[in-house]
Chain A
Amino acid sequence: MVYRVLIGALVYAAVALPAAAQDAYVVGLTAALTGPPSSTYAPAVEALRLYIDRVNASGGVNGKQIKLIIQDDSAQPSKAATNVKKLITQDNVVLLVNATLSTTYAPVIAEAKRAGVPLLFAGGVCPKEVYPPADPLLFCTTAFAATYDSRAALDFIKETAKGPVRLALVAMAIPLSRAEIDYAEQQAPKAGMTVVDKEVIPPPTPDYTPFATKIKEANANWTFSWAPWVTEVRTLEALRRLGWQGDYLTWAHIEAEGELKRLKDGKLYVIGSNALFQDKLPIHREISEAVAKAGSKYPVNQMAEGWIAGMVIEAALKAAGWPADAKKIRDALETVKLDTKGLRGGPIEWTKDNHFRIRQYYRVYRWDPAKSEIVQAKDWFAYDVK
């Protein structure tokens, strides 16, 4: 008798539980929540989770809750692949989200394509497949953009520099960062700048001074760095300790706002696509309230990236309607036109061929020692993404 009851319970669980799961939009996320690079991704995931919780608390989308399943991959490709397999086959997700190192992309993309589930990159760098002509299944909300970032940075340096530019370039020894800095090295002479040094710094570096010494000895008056924040900021700090007085332009990762306040360096510029929280926009207040309410351990000024991803997911699910499968979500993503409410310089707009955005906006900030606050060094300027 007991045996039959157990069998019955198992059969019921097997049939009823997936059915219950289908009563919500199931979204699966693989992210680097632990491991060395997690400082870049964990806050974005936290913001996304807070946004989804907020949507669910206000009744969900189309009357249905969003079930966000988060899996840690420690930035390891094998773990990311396992996560995605599990999310697809066991959790029946209709949308996958990736917030981790680019080294995980190949296996994750392969799994998503095999299952026909759309994959959104949020917090990690956008892969080339989201640029025109875009892969039908891949989308990206992340702020930074290969080649466009260097173009914008070099244009800003050219506009700001008061004399000839002797440029030093700094990358981390990871493929993406190196490729971008190689591109900047090619473009700089066309903009009339002389590249005097290029440093490709290995990730686990205990002391950045040897690299900074070379930049200083090369007599650079500008340095541009496009790398994970740890490399960007530690190179700058090593340069300053050596007495280097030049201007330093770097990509505004999520840590940038807090770091500008910490460093209080008038010659440090950060270029990025997200408005900093010191702009005090209504959407910033909204995020701040949500973060304070949830008691998050991450600073609110690191939350924009994940919040934007949440906004996109909500918009896509709303457009897909209910019931929604992976194909409907994909079709909805392709028509997204999201007003970011000032978090970005313009909307996130996707088309059939462009899953990155039609226009990429940039703004440059710096610390103003006279005012003792962060100021805009250059307001929004944009490039068409072709």
Chain B
Amino acid sequence: MQLVVNIIVLAAIYALIACGYVLIYRVSRVLNLAHGELMMLGAYLLLTTGSLFTGHPVVAVAAALLLSILVGACVYVFLMRKMTGEMVLAAVLTTIALGILLRGVMVLIWSAQQQYPAQALGVTNPAIALWGGARISTWSALLIVVTAAVYGGLFVFLRFGRWGIRMRAAGQNPLLAAQRGVNLHGVYALAWSLSTFTGGLAGMLISLDSGLTGTMVIIGLKAFPAALVGGLDSLVGALVGSLIIATTEVLLIYYVNPLLADVVPFLVLIAMLMVRPWGLFGTPEELDRV
């Protein structure tokens, strides 16, 4: 039973991170390689708001999430907007530069040492006993719930929300969408905000569960194969991809060799790229434009 719980927790982590990649790619065709750094920034923001609002964890989390949304909007307005009309590759390279910049800034502001946002918030992380003798930490359980809520919310928003429909339209045909009066800059800014929000949320929950160090950036990158395997422009794909990668990883740790857990997700990714380059649920013609 513990095996199943471990797979679900890891899949939820990857899925929550991966949806940030998908949101931006789906709308603007840009691969955001600074997503890991933005995720880590969300966790550091929580550390700061936790210190500012001691004893009020809900306020601290809400403030950190609002700041994450603001950061996402600022990244678009002050940086990525300038890339509109340029080659997609230039935009991708810009996100790499942004990542390097953010890493340096975070060390300067919060130092390089291991931090514990849970301590700053004054909250603990007790284990919850499940059926079959399995156990799960409180924050991991919350992460699963939050991931489900985020995907459910995004589904409803993109399917029925006015701005959600605009986002889909901008993603499918930006020229036509603009001609029909869709504010493309507003849509792109919204996509960046939502992506940074979900990434920041993932960073916050991971850091509440197990602390915060510079290695979080690499965790952000580990979710990348999940997004690609599922299909970069599909949220359902991100969910399925996360489940595939997490299952592969945990089973390898259990039954083969833990060292393979680091390598095999990328082997799965390569295999997928060879067989079906657009991913399980991706759109073939969209990938030609990467």
Contact = CB atoms under 8 A, between A and B. Distances in A.
Interface residues of A, number: 42
Residue among A208, A211, A242 with max Cβ neighbours from chain B (10 Å): A242
A207 B140 contact: yes
Given A173-B259, A201-B258, A202-B261, A208 B116 contact: no
Given A38-B107, A213-B6, A241-B127, A200 B250 contact: no
Most central of B111, B219, B259, B262 by chain A CB within 10 Å: B111
Contacts of A240: 127
Interface in A38-67: 38-39, 41-43
Contacts of A211: 253, 258
Contact of B215 (A200, A230, A238): A230
Interface in A203-226: 203-211, 213-214
A243 B111 CA distance: 33
B11 to A, nearest CB: 10
A282 interface: no
Nearest to B222: A204
B54 to A, nearest CB: 17
Interface string A237-279: 1101111000000000001000000100000000000000000
B262 A202 contact: yes
Nearest to A214: B254
Interface residues of B, number: 42
A362 interface: no
Contacts of A35: 103, 214
Contacts of B262: 173, 202, 204
B214 A37 contact: yes
A211 B10 CA distance: 12
B51 interface: no
B111 A42 contact: yes
Interface of B: 2-3, 5-6, 9-10, 13-14, 103-104, 107, 111-114, 116, 119, 125, 127, 135-137, 140, 206, 210-211, 213-215, 217-219, 221-222, 249-250, 253-254, 258-259, 261-262
Interface of A: 33-39, 41-43, 173, 199-211, 213-214, 229-230, 233-234, 237-238, 240-243, 255, 262, 297-299, 302
